[in-house]
Amino acid sequence: MESLTEQIKEILLKSKKILLTIHINPDGDALGSMLGLYDALTRHFGLDVSMATNGLMPKTFLYLPYYFKIQDGFEPQNFDTVVLLDCGGWTRTGWFDSDELNIAWPNNLIVIDHHATLTLTPGLHYLGPATSSTSEMVYGLLKAWGVPVNKEIATCLLTGICFDTGSFQHVNTSEKTLRIAADLMQVGANLPMIAQKMYVGKSIGRLKLWGIVLQRMRYDETSGITMSAITQEDMEATGTTKEDAEGLVNLMNTVPGLKFSLLLSETPDGDVKGSLRTQSEQVDVGKLAQFMGGGGHARAAGFLLPVDIDTQDKAGWKIV
């Protein structure tokens, strides 16, 4: 029986025009996995490939190869094969409202994802819920296909792995993950540079935003939960964007004995995005996020709710 990796390869090689796309407002793993796969498909196989994403493109990852080849839109009729990376369905891409498309497109759909909680769209699924990142999964695909990993691919994939493991601090970091990271460094990925780009060089506005959110943070000793919130007013006052809040919930999750952290962020549309993090083996925030209509991993997850956020109460913040 033909392996799943070979089935994916066969579909891609027969495709006339391929689209790679990722979840809305992409992060380091989504971008790293897509850009790394793009290099392999175009350079090694000579395929006709385009990339597109929806939402805010983080400037943190400007250093990644092919970053400026990513488009902010696409025409479905131009592609016969689509690869969804780091998300399980069309809804997460932000391109369509439902995973059930009302158009006869595409001819072939491939999903490459590592999230534990998924709403799967129809297609061929290459999943790895026990894997650190989608970038680690792409590495496995390239190895199975015999594709040589060059410096550009290595930089993309190591960025994705670093992002989703918190630079190898999170519990999803396995021995295999570290061996892969070492292999990527051996072919030219610069780990100190990646870490510097991801974590150092925060703007004054970003630091002020973090100060506001940390001052607003509340800790409930009974439940073992830290909570805080970000409003659009906060970002306007500090001249920051959603990207500047990246990593805040992880910092909130460093309180000893904590069960989990919750950071609520007001979106430009007035909804509330919830980000959940935990280091406790007794807590699965992925299930909690799924209950709220979202999803993610056991240690990191999120959701979106159509509610208002109010931080004007002197006692802290509340949802009304």
Pairing mode of beta strands 218-220, 260-266 = unpaired
Beta strands in 222-317 (DSSP E): 225-230, 260-266, 272-277, 295-296, 300-305, 309-310
What per-residue confidence (pLDDT) applies to 119? 63
Q: How far apart, in whole angstroms, are the C-alpha atoms of residue 8 and residue 315?
A: 54
Query: In the chain, what are the domains?
Result: 4-198 (3.90.1640.10), 204-319 (3.10.310.30)
Q: pTM to 2 decimals?
A: 0.82
Helix, strand, or coil here: 296? strand
What per-residue confidence (pLDDT) applies to 177? 97
What per-residue confidence (pLDDT) applies to 117? 57
Q: How far apart, in whole angstroms, are the C-alpha atoms of residue 249 and residue 22?
A: 22
Q: Which residue has the tokens 């992002």?
A: 163
Burial class (CB in 10 A: 0-12, 13-18, 19+), 65: middle
- Cβ within 8 Å of residue 1, ≥6 positions away: none
Residues pairing with 10 in the sheet? none
Q: How far apart, in whole angstroms, are the C-alpha atoms of residue 81 and residue 108?
A: 5
For the chain, which ranges sit under pLDDT 70? 1, 116-120, 310-320
- Give me the torsion for CA of 120, 158, 165, 202, rounded to 10°: -110
Q: How far apart, in whole angstroms, are the C-alpha atoms of residue 37 and residue 54?
A: 18
Q: Which residue has the tokens 């993309």?
A: 156
Q: How far apart, in whole angstroms, are the C-alpha atoms of residue 285 and residue 125?
A: 24
